[in-house]
Amino acid sequence: MAEKSPAPSSVFDKQPPLAVSTKKEKISTVTPDARVTLNSVAPEWSGKPYGSECITSSRNEVSPPEGNLQQLLQQQQQMIQIQQQTLQSMASTIRQGFALPKPELNKFDGNPLEFWNFIRSFENNIEKNASDESEKLSFLLQYCTGAARNAIKSCVSIDPTLGYQTARTLLKDRFGHLYKIATAHLNQETRDPP
């Protein structure tokens, strides 16, 4: 029977030295006992996973896990402040809504002298608060009378988006054109006694 050799104490005992290549293609040998420094700035490996202990640098900076926690807390505090400001703004708006009287929207009868006043009032009170074009068209018809209503009443039979835009264009062309407004001013000045 052949004699068995004693078991090696480590895996490195039977392995030949490793060859390490650098950028200049120099080949050097590294023995298992030699330490190779890969990053001189990195902390030395303690055998424990990162974050299991507080690692501090020589300048006593806070370790990354604690730094992240502090950063998250600051972000959370900022978000709470933003939410409080938003809620205060909403509460102020609600209070104003109850305190201020609703503006009254006069009906438009087709008088060119009143066209731009009506349109601005309609835009500020109805158009910006209406949810869709169909609703805007319904309100426009509701607040127009006489010649103005007759000019746009057929717009209800077409697609609401196109119908509202067509109604606005018809009103502007028939009652809001600068020539018509100037003519209405002249007629008013020449008819009425001073």
Domain boundaries, position 146: 133-191
Overall average pLDDT of the 85-92 stretch: 87
Q: Residue 25, SS3? A: coil
Q: Tell me, yes or no, whether 55 lies in a domain.
A: no
The pLDDT score that the predictor gives to residue 24 is 47
CA distance 156 to 162: 10
Q: Tell me, yes or no, whether 35 lies in a domain.
A: no
The pLDDT score that the predictor gives to residue 137 is 93
Read off the pLDDT band of 189 (50, 70, 90).
confident
Task: Report whether pLDDT(144) > 70.
Answer: yes
Do residues 171 and 151 make contact, with C-beta atoms less than 8 angstroms apart?
Answer: yes
Mean pLDDT of the chain: 77
Task: Report whether pLDDT(8) > 60.
Answer: no
CA distance 154 to 162: 12
For the ranges 4-8, 166-170, 179-183, the lowest mean pLDDT is seen at 4-8
Do residues 122 and 171 make contact, with C-beta atoms less than 8 angstroms apart?
Answer: no
53-62 contact pairs (CB < 8 A, 24+)? none
Looking up tokens 């074009």, which residue turns up? 133
Q: Residue 141, SS3? A: helix
Q: Tell me, yes or no, whether 144 lies in a domain.
A: yes
Written as six digits, the tokens of 62 are 């806070």
Q: Tell me, yes or no, whether 116 lies in a domain.
A: no
Task: Report whether pLDDT(143) > 70.
Answer: yes
Overall average pLDDT of the 29-45 stretch: 63
Predicted model pTM = 0.48
Overall average pLDDT of the 14-18 stretch: 51
Structural domains counted in the chain: 1
- Residue 129 CA from chain centroid, whole number: 21
Q: Tell me, yes or no, whether 43 lies in a domain.
A: no
Q: Tell me, yes or no, whether 57 lies in a domain.
A: no
